[in-house]
């Protein structure tokens, strides 16, 4: 496991840390196809390169601005690790964004550029690669901006409860968008069990349309497209944060088991009273020392962000 904690400085109002591991299970993966990115308030960045932590300085990074992202490369489509690494390198080169619209436009442009690049390099019959991307962009003193595609997740840990703040881009969500699944059946299919299928990924594209065939652009799901019970969880939005709560960006290897809700239900107690780094250590120790029943071996990556109790957002 790689734990990133003391090397970065997020200023007086934010605490953050990252952890990543090849994972656990009966047949552990030989390669970590996950990735992550943390850019701190001084432009010091850390990510994975060839499965090892890489530190660098982002030139011209605005003081106080923070970027945090988790990525899960899709190995089943080939070149999963390479896709996640390419996306991270693109994120390192992408200027800081101050609003949700510019963030979405910049990331959609990066998606198209990387998609074209991989398509030109691959044989015609090759399956295109992809990666999830769940990202928080935090301008100085402002509420975080969320951009989400895939089935990694953002959790809020507060008041003894783990609340999911993103919608998994999986076939069950597509069926719910069409009215074929109600809330209870959707939650049972998506949060109560684990399926490896995905309906949309960065670089790969989306299979959310009526034909279920892969289309190149990404679709940002929002109140106009999601069913009413998910309408408040738009993929691209300003995130209202609660000072003192932990916000966990995590890849789906953590809940790839028979009873995901029992596993994630332990997280509030494991995070209680802890710094971001202490929470990451506790969550990884719990998972790796006591792998959940029915675990499907997969890589695991998590970022923890905790906003100081004094943090306030103008107009929030």
Is the residue at 47 inside a domain?
Answer: yes
Reported as a single tens digit per residue, the pLDDT across 80-97 is 999 999 999 999 999 999
Query: Regarding predicted confidence, which is higher, 124 or 11?
Result: 11
Give residue 209's pLDDT: 82
Give residue 306's pLDDT: 96
For every residue of 147-178, which 3-state class applies, written as one string?
EEECCCEEEEEECCEEEECCCCCCHHHHHHHC
Query: Regarding predicted confidence, which is higher, 59 or 212?
Result: 59
Reported as a single tens digit per residue, the pLDDT across 109-161 is 999 999 999 988 776 656 779 999 999 999 998 999 999 999 999 999 999 99
Give residue 188's pLDDT: 95
Is the residue at 32 inside a domain?
Answer: yes
Is the residue at 315 inside a domain?
Answer: no
What is the value of pTM for the model shown? Answer: 0.94
Is the residue at 215 inside a domain?
Answer: yes
How confident is the model over 296-302, as a mean pLDDT?
91
Cβ contact 129:111 at 8 Å: no
Reported as a single tens digit per residue, the pLDDT across 163-184 is 999 999 999 999 999 999 999 9
Give residue 26's pLDDT: 72
Collapsing DSSP to helix, strand or coil, 35 comes out as: strand
Is the residue at 282 inside a domain?
Answer: yes
Percent of the chain with pLDDT over 90: 76
Counted domains in the chain: 1
Cβ contact 283:250 at 8 Å: no
Is the residue at 316 inside a domain?
Answer: no
Reported as a single tens digit per residue, the pLDDT across 221-249 is 999 999 999 999 999 999 999 999 999 99
Tokens of 168: 């998994």
Is the residue at 314 inside a domain?
Answer: no
Cβ contact 200:207 at 8 Å: yes
Could you tell me the CATH number of the domain that includes residue 240? 3.60.40.10
DSSP E strand boundaries for 7-51: 14-24, 34-39, 44-49
Q: 212: burial class by Cβ within 10 Å (0-12, 13-18, 19+)?
A: exposed
Is the pLDDT at 50 greater than 90? The verdict is no
Give residue 249's pLDDT: 98
Give residue 315's pLDDT: 41
Q: 71: burial class by Cβ within 10 Å (0-12, 13-18, 19+)?
A: buried
Is the pLDDT at 193 greater than 90? The verdict is no
Give residue 126's pLDDT: 66
Is the pLDDT at 211 greater than 80? The verdict is no
Q: Which has the closest alpha carbon to 35: 299, 305, 304? A: 299
User: Where in the sequence is the domain holding 193, given as residue range(s)?
Assistant: 2-307
Reported as a single tens digit per residue, the pLDDT across 248-285 is 999 999 999 999 999 999 999 999 999 999 999 999 99
Which of 36-50, 201-215, 292-306 is least confident?
201-215
Using CA atoms in the order 272, 55, 85, 305, what is the torsion angle rounded to 10 degrees? 20
Give residue 316's pLDDT: 42
Is the residue at 312 inside a domain?
Answer: no
């Amino acid at each position: 496991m790689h734990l990133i904690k003391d090397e970065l400085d997020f200023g007086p109002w934010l605490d953050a840390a990252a952890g990543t591991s090849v994972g656990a299970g009966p047949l552990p993966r030989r390669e970590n196809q996950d990735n992550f990115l943390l850019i701190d308030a001084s432009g010091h960045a850390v990510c994975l390169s060839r499965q090892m932590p890489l530190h660098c300085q982002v030139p011209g990074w605005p003081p106080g601005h923070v970027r945090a992202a988790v990525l899960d490369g899709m190995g089943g489509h080939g070149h999963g690790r390479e896709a996640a690494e390419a996306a991270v390198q693109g994120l390192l080169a992408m200027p800081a964004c101050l609003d949700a619209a510019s963030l979405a436009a910049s990331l959609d442009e990066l998606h198209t550029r990387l998609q074209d690049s991989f398509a030109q390099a691959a044989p015609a019959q090759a399956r295109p690669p992809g990666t999830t991307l769940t990202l928080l962009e935090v301008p100085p003193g402002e509420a975080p901006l969320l951009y989400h595609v895939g089935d990694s997740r953002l959790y809020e840990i507060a008041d003894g409860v783990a609340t999911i703040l993103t919608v998994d881009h999986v076939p069950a969500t597509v069926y719910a968008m069409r009215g074929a699944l109600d809330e209870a059946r959707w939650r049972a299919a998506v949060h109560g069990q684990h399926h490896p299928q995905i309906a949309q990924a960065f670089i790969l594209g989306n299979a959310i349309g009526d034909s279920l065939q892969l289309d190149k652009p990404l679709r940002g799901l929002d109140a106009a497209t999601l069913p009413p019970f998910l309408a408040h969880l738009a993929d691209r939005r300003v995130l209202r944060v609660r000072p003192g709560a932990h916000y966990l960006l995590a890849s789906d290897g953590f809940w790839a088991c028979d009873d995901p809700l029992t596993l994630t239900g332990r997280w509030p107690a494991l995070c209680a009273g802890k710094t971001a780094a202490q929470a990451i250590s506790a969550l990884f120790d719990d998972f790796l020392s006591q792998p959940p029943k029915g675990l499907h071996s997969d890589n695991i990556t998590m970022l923890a962000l905790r906003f100081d109790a004094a943090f306030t957002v103008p107009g929030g």
